[in-house]
């Protein structure tokens, strides 16, 4: 006697129909969005903290690097030296975490990276100052900056690998641009918090305890980022790579190593203008305006917020445009314009008779020019390296460029101005680095944005 589809004679069918429900992976679009958010939030935290450190450089100098008899300029230089030290540990972090990310996976490595960054930044907000701990205070601060540098070095390569490897076809530039966009949001967030604190607190309150607030705010943000990354899946490119490695389809290790070194060096050249101009205009500007041009803390922060607003506004359109016309024309335009505009911008800021609105528009435009390089930059780097070394290679290129041309920007500019008395040092710095970067960017192939990522 035949049985019903739901009768006892066909017990296997209901099980077969019910089983796929929980096991079915989310659609590709959902996975892409999750990767975008999880990658972006870690970048936001990283650059929020680095921005806060730069914006509060003069306050941190007074709290940690000014023993009795020490001058303000000396303390500021030591603060920037600590700032630069963290950047110089970024390449070590890029290599260490990059190797882990290329061998063990993007997901577990990014979970570890955001945990370290959150812990180190929160602890900075709890550190005793020089008045309480003496010479231990600057050493403890420097140690935590080293941890931050290591974790920040591992963040970029993993986040960009995650975003670009999950990106839909034809949208790699836009997806990669979110990394730079969250950099801008992080810097803007840090500037906004600093501006609010500078408005509602007195100078004494800011120096006594107010500077700690932005660092302690990292803890809830970091926990949210950790939760998001725990929900991630591994990227399709890495899973394909693992299957190929299991079947022993790898190429010999020596050839990729040589290619990686060449690509890293070229990547540094292509990024140096972005690194130098970005940190000069977006991070170093507040302390420079205060110490050299006698601007107030609020005026300096206002200029920085405007510069970062222009930066943020240009990034996503630049990334999307590079998906249509290519990475080379967009990034090359940014480097050339930044080199040409460096001196007129600084001269305008120095002119006491120039309208305030003109100065605000100028710094906003300067930020937008940096955004032309930052938008397509992550996708450009991802396209330079195969999956087997992508996390390590693009992370190293970015970390080395930032260590030399970003981390040292404040130290170089402050020390050069102090020794020479030449207030146009920042313009020289931006013009030279962007001109050299333009030469490296000119070597980009015009069709890289149309090609699939290398396996």
pLDDT digits (tens, 9 = 90+) for 52-98: 877 777 787 778 876 554 555 656 666 666 666 777 888 999 999 99
* pLDDT value of residue 72: 59
**21 located within any domain:** no
Give me the number of domains the chain comprises. 1
Which is higher by pLDDT, 110 or 409? 110
**16 located within any domain:** no
Q: Poorest-confidence range of 19-23, 49-53, 102-106, 441-445?
A: 19-23
Q: How far apart are CA 384 and CA 376, in angstroms?
A: 13
Question: DSSP characters for 20-82?
Answer: HHHHSPPPHHHHHHHHHHHHHHHHHHHHHHHHHHHHTHHHHHHHHS--TT--HHHHHHHHHHH
**243 located within any domain:** no
Q: Is-contact 61 76, C-beta < 8 A?
A: yes
**393 located within any domain:** yes
Work out the pLDDT band at 243, boundaries 50, 70, 90.
Answer: confident
Of how many residues is the chain composed? 455
Angstrom CA distances, 419 to 73, 148, 407, 438, stand at 11, 30, 20, 29
Q: Residue 338 above 70 pLDDT?
A: yes
- Residue 385 is given by DSSP the state S
Which is higher by pLDDT, 55 or 49? 49
* pLDDT value of residue 377: 96
Structure tokens at 36: 């975008």
pLDDT tens-digit profile of 197-207?
888 988 788 88
Q: The domain spanning residue 129 has which CATH number? A: 1.20.1250.20
* pLDDT value of residue 112: 95
**18 located within any domain:** no
Angstrom CA distances, 1 to 5, 8, 12, 209, stand at 13, 12, 18, 84
* pLDDT value of residue 328: 96
The contacts of residue 307 (CB under 8 Å, 6+ apart) are 281, 282, 285, 363, 364, 366, 367
Structure tokens at 341: 């505009």
Q: Residue 9 above 50 pLDDT?
A: no
Place of tokens 């940690």: 64
Q: Residue 254 above 60 pLDDT?
A: no
- Helix or strand (DSSP H, E) at 203: helix 203-205
**72 located within any domain:** yes
Structure tokens at 195: 């501006």
The contacts of residue 246 (CB under 8 Å, 6+ apart) are none
**6 located within any domain:** no
What ranges make up the beta strands (E) of 123-241?
none
pLDDT tens-digit profile of 141-162?
888 988 988 998 999 999 999 9
Give the range of the structural domain holding residue 126, as residue numbers without chain letter.
27-238+253-450
* pLDDT value of residue 187: 77
- Average pLDDT value for residue range 35-52: 86
Work out the pLDDT band at 256, boundaries 50, 70, 90.
Answer: low
């Amino acid at each position: 006697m035949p049985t019903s589809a739901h009768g006892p004679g066909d017990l296997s069918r209901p099980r077969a129909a019910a089983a796929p429900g929980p096991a079915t992976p989310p659609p590709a679009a959902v996975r892409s969005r999750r990767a975008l958010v999880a990658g972006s939030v870690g970048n936001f935290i990283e650059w929020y903290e680095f921005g806060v450190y730069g914006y509060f450089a003069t306050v941190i100098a007074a709290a940690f690097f000014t023993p009795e008899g020490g001058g303000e300029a000396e303390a500021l230089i030591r603060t920037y030296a600590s700032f630069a030290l963290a950047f110089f540990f970024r390449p070590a972090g890029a290599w260490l975490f990059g190797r882990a990310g290329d061998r063990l996976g993007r997901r577990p490595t990014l979970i570890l990276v955001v945990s370290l960054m959150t812990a180190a930044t929160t602890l900075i907000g709890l550190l005793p100052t020089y008045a309480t701990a003496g010479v231990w205070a600057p050493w403890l601060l420097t140690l935590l900056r080293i941890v931050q540098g290591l974790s920040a070095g591992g963040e970029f390569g993993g986040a960009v690998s995650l975003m670009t490897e999950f990106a839909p076809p034809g949208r790699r530039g836009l997806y990669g641009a979110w990394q730079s966009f969250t950099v801008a949001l992080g810097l803007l967030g840090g500037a906004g918090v600093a501006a609010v604190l500078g408005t509602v607190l007195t100078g004494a309150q800011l120096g006594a305890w107010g500077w700690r607030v932005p660092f302690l705010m990292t803890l809830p943000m970091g926990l949210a980022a950790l939760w998001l990354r725990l929900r991630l899946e591994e990227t399709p490119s890495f899973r394909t790579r693992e299957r190929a490695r299991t079947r022993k389809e790898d190429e010999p290790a020596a050839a990729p190593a040589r290619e990686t070194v060449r690509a890293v060096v070229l990547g540094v050249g292509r990024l140096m203008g972005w690194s130098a101009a970005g940190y000069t205009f977006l991070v170093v500007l507040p302390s420079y305006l205060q110490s050299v041009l006698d601007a107030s803390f609020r005026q300096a922060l206002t200029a920085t917020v405007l510069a970062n607003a222009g930066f943020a506004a240009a990034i996503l359109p630049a990334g999307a445009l590079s998906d249509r016309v290519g990475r080379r024309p967009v990034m090359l335009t940014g480097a050339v314009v930044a080199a040409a505009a460096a001196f007129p911008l600084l001269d305008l800021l120095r002119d006491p008779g120039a309208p305030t609105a003109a100065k605000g528009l100028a710094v906003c435009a300067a930020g937008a020019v940096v955004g032309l390089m930052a938008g397509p930059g992550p996708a450009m780097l991802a396209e330079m390296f195969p999956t087997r070394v992508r996390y390590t290679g693009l992370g190293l290129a970015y970390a080395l460029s930032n260590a030399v041309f970003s981390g040292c920007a404040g130290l170089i500019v402050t020390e050069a101005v102090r020794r020479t008395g030449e207030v146009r040092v920042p313009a020289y710095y931006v013009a030279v680095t962007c001109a050299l970067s333009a030469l490296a960017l000119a070597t980009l192939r015009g069709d890289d944005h149309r090609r699939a990522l290398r396996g």
